[in-house]
Amino acid sequence: MGIEIERKFLIVGSDWRQTAVGTTYRQGYIVADRERTVRVRRAGERGFLTIKGPGDGARRLEFEYEIPIAEADEMLATLCPGPLIEKIRYWVDYQGFTWEIDEFFGENRGLLLAEIELADEHQIFARPSWVGAEVTGDHRYYNACLARSPYANWKE
């Protein structure tokens, strides 16, 4: 399924909300370590199983499969230890790119992240005013890490 190339940023302000359309996500991890991640996700009324390789800056090997929602729920309940990630994902179009914005709840309440998927790491894109500091490659902001070490615990 190929390589995922993403850059990730903090969010500044709330101007992005004006045109945002969102879906509730609930996800957990069958395994999540430096070498591999197996994620179960409920996205609205759809289920997904996603395998990712080692995180290496913006590039990451990724395979994603849609699965029956009942099976996703069963795996989340029985095979995903630790607190689940709960968030609303919004999609915002800006000058030819679609930004994905995650607003976290539960133990990660207060955290907002924006991601953009690129064809290559150095592709040029316009930066909306609400895009703040880049955190691409910072493992603390990986969702798998947020499940183990939630934002509420590492804020100063």
Query: Does 12 engage in binding with a second copy (CB under 8 A)?
Result: no
Cα–Cα distance measured from residue 56 to residue 74, given in angstroms and rounded to the nearest whole number: 31
Read off the tokens for 53. Answer: 């390789």
Query: Does 57 engage in binding with a second copy (CB under 8 A)?
Result: no
Query: Does 36 engage in binding with a second copy (CB under 8 A)?
Result: yes
Query: Does 138 engage in binding with a second copy (CB under 8 A)?
Result: no
* Residue in 1, 24, 110, 153 binding a second copy, rule: CB under 8 A: 1
Read off the tokens for 138. Answer: 């910072």
Are 115 and 128 spatial neighbours (Cβ–Cβ below 8 Å)?
no
Closest distance between a second copy and the C-beta of residue 76, in Å? Answer: 12
Closest distance between a second copy and the C-beta of residue 121, in Å? Answer: 19
Cα–Cα distance measured from residue 69 to residue 139, given in angstroms and rounded to the nearest whole number: 29
Closest distance between a second copy and the C-beta of residue 33, in Å? Answer: 8
Query: Does 56 engage in binding with a second copy (CB under 8 A)?
Result: no
Cα–Cα distance measured from residue 147 to residue 156, given in angstroms and rounded to the nearest whole number: 19
* Residue in 10, 51, 145, 152 binding a second copy, rule: CB under 8 A: 51
Cα–Cα distance measured from residue 29 to residue 93, given in angstroms and rounded to the nearest whole number: 29
Phi then psi dihedrals of residue 108, to 5 deg: -110, 15
Question: Which sequence positions are flagged as catalytic?
Answer: 29
Query: Does 63 engage in binding with a second copy (CB under 8 A)?
Result: yes
**Stretch near a second copy under the rule CB under 8 A, chosen from 48-56, 94-102, 124-132, 139-147:** 48-56
Read off the tokens for 98. Answer: 């679609």
Cα–Cα distance measured from residue 73 to residue 42, given in angstroms and rounded to the nearest whole number: 7
Q: Which residues in this chain contact a second copy in the complex, by CB under 8 A?
A: 1, 30-31, 35-36, 38, 49, 51, 53, 61, 63, 65, 67-68, 71, 74-75, 78-79, 81
